[in-house]
Amino acid sequence: MSGEEERKALVDLLCRTGMIKTERVRRAFLKVPREEFVLPEHRPYAYFDDALPLFSGQTISQPSVVAFMTEALQVENGQKILEVGAGSGYQAALLAELDPDGIVYTVERIPELAEYARRNLERTGYRNVRVVVGDGSLGLPEHAPFDRIIVTAAAPEVPRALGEQLSEGGIMVIPVGPRHSQRMVRVSKKGGRLTEEDLGFPVVFVPLVGEQGFRA
Ligand code: SAM
């Protein structure tokens, strides 16, 4: 099977299992070449529904989890989006593909990974993504507020800074819980108030390490 056929087979699986629900997200998954974001030695597994190791002990998340979070985020056209945890840059590429008129900021605490994400995004042609090195548990106050925030690392609780940087009517998706098991939470802001909704989707993410996350 070619890369494209493998990608289509994975997308079909994600649709059948209900992880991809909308045509818009389906199209984005069909466009973004995950093989360009995994390490070269893992290319043969790029279209398995598995998380894969990157380096510095980090991972590119499992496609079904990425699909679930991307759907839950309900991205609209022309939005300002913050991702915390750039990793390989794959999730950021999907967001950029979903919203070509918007802008995606993705923060990564490990400089070598930020550089890896930047290179992957450049090679695959995603120009509406900015990769920033820093502690994403504090958000990115200089670019706030954000219409959407997606956190792709596990937080002990919703970081206060991220709640503050969510725009009115905004949505944040974040895995919340102890180090070894979390629940996926959607946070909405209305009338200046944050509401948390448990999406009933248990996950295990690498920790969000930072001032408003876990200690290293
Ligand atoms: N979204 C990524 C992708 O598409 O490849 C996968 C993210 S990986 C599961 C989690 C990432 O979060 C790691 O790269 C890790 O270094 C990063 N991370 C952890 N704590 C962070 C923090 N406080 N700020 C920014 N990035 C952080």
Can you give the residue ranges of every domain in the chain?
3-203
Q: Is domain 3-203 classified as CATH 3.40.1180.10?
A: no
CA dist 166 to 28, 35, 97, 191, Å?
24, 32, 22, 12
Helix 63-73 × helix 3-16 angle, to 10° = 60
| Index of the ligand 1 atom closest to the CA of residue 209 | 20
Q: How far is the CA of 135 from the centre of ligand 1 (A)?
A: 10
pLDDT tens across 49-91, in order? 999 999 999 999 999 999 999 999 999 999 999 999 999 999 9
| Ligand 1 atom 21: residue of nearest CA | 208
Q: pLDDT class for 40, splitting at 50, 70, 90?
A: very high
pLDDT tens across 105-135, in order? 999 999 999 999 999 999 999 999 999 999 9
- Among 209, 211, 212, 215, the mutation site with the greatest number of ligand 1 atoms within 8 A of its Cβ is 209
Q: How far is the CA of 169 from the centre of ligand 1 (A)?
A: 25
DSSP result, 162-197? HHHTEEEEEEEEEEESSTT-EEEEEEEEETTEEEEE
Q: How far is the CA of 151 from the centre of ligand 1 (A)?
A: 8
